[in-house]
Amino acid sequence: MPPRVRFFWLWMALGLLLRLPALGLWGTFDTEVQKAWSARAATAGVADIYGPPDRELLAAAPRPGSVASVLSVPVPRTTFRWGSADYFVDYPPGSVLVLWAAGKLYGLAAPTLPNRRLFNAAINLAPLLASIGIALLLRRSAQGGPGEVRALLFWLNPAVYLAAPVLGYQDPVFALLGLAAVMALMNGRHVAAAALVVTAALVKPQGVLLLPVAAAVLLREGRPRVIALASAAGAGAAALVLLPWWATGHLLSAIDGFRRPLSQGTLAPLGLNVWWIAGYAMRWAQTGPWPLADIVPIDAFQGWSGFDPRLVSRGLLGAATLLNIGLLLRAPRDDRRMIPLAVVLQVHLYALLGTSVHENHTFLAVALAPLLAFVWPHARGLLAGTSGFLFASLYLTAGFGRRITTQGSLQSLRAAFGLDLSVIVAAAHVALVVLMVVWVARTAAGGVRSMAP
């Protein structure tokens, strides 16, 4: 084995040794929610985990023969108790299947599924395996040393380690699918990319951010037959993920589960973006100078500002997406760097302008950024910017997780500069996205040379 390869596997092993003790950490409160969903799925099945069977929803539709009428029927949410709290599932079906597997695995060691560290480890196992998969895919993205460096840029990234396993986020699972989709697009494998994009979106809603770039590349490069095959592959992937609900007559409630994150009633809940700054401005106006930023209800902000932030957000995000796709289509077709660049930019445009953004929603950008190492002069700056923002967002909202970091200590840190540090990071995010747009525009216009991998 060459020394370079031994060096790579040594650092992979060291990264794994750092992760294994952290699998049992308590993470954020999301970890409790994931365990509740996992326990419910593993013990009672997934069929009715979202809501009632299709026959009840069809009977309640004003016009049963109309798809729009059926999809507009409110779906009663299945509520279940785990521990001392009640829960309902508001995440896509793909995530439920991953958590079902985690619950089943934990049940082999503890059939009653007690709320212990081993359950935390079971929940964190899929993100760990997905992180390994991301590193190995990045290694395959280029031959020799460049591929190994790309893999280690992800595997040893402190922001990645903080997200999973320390804080217990599930993002690596969907990011693995997203990275595979982007690499498939870069290699002209449009059919596989379509299936991967749909699967990613059915695991985590942010997978939808892959769709504009994937659709633009497919329409520009694919012949009608390839487009038809890609569409069929996407539909087939969706059918496969939804099969446990389709086969048991609960498809409509599962579809509703995919839509539930869109109905969030708070303004940028812990997403450090323009709406976090806007919510801070409202707090300042109402309570006086130098408050700590907090999660603001959308209705309260609308009453204070006089406009619906969701409408403004959709307009801004739509315009920004058109700009991003325009830059992608402007670039030469053989400049494959533009594909991961456009997805990274799309992730951050959403994270900057969306009203439903959380602190972990830029993880995909950090997984994709290493693809540009050795082929794009600004790759180092992009990776540092995306990683630094993700780390700051995670740490300022959760620290190192429950039973390690207190919210009081985080609030003291944020207040140490007078102006809430989270608002400063949100303002820096604005500058980062502007810089990214400039970089992407210059690359699309041929102003950023290509480097040999």
- Three-class SS state of 297: strand
- Chain segment 77-126, per-residue pLDDT in tens: 999 999 999 999 999 999 999 999 999 999 999 999 999 999 999 999 99
Torsion over CA of 373, 376, 379 and 381, rounded to 10 degrees? 150
Q: Is a pLDDT exceeding 70 seen at residue 257? A: yes
H or E, element range at 266: strand 266-267
Question: Does residue 217 surpass a pLDDT of 90?
Answer: yes
Percent of the chain residues past pLDDT 90, beyond the cut: 91
- Band (pLDDT 50/70/90 cuts) for residue 249 is very high
Summarize the confidence of residues 135-164 as an average pLDDT: 97
Average pLDDT over residues 245-273: 91
Across 400-415, average pLDDT: 97
By three-state DSSP, how is residue 267 classified? strand
Measured CA to CA, the distance from residue 172 to residue 175 in angstroms comes to 5
pLDDT at 109: 97
pLDDT at 399 over 80: yes
* pLDDT over threshold 80, residue 71: no
Strand partners, 86: 81
Give the model's pLDDT for residue 149.
98
Residue by residue, DSSP assigns 34-91 as: HHHHHHHHHHH-STTSSSS-HHHHHHH-SSTT-HHHHHTS--PPP-EEETTEEE---S
Rounded CA separation 183/339 (Å)? 9
pLDDT at 450: 76
Q: Are 233 and 218 in contact (CB under 8 A)?
A: no
Average pLDDT taken over every residue of the chain: 95
Measure Cα distances from 45 to 78, 239, 253 in Å.
13, 19, 14
For range 22-41, the mean pLDDT: 98
User: What is the distance between the terminal CA atoms of the chain, rounded to a whole angstrom?
Assistant: 22
| SS3 of the chain: helix, strand, coil, percent, to 5 | 70, 0, 30
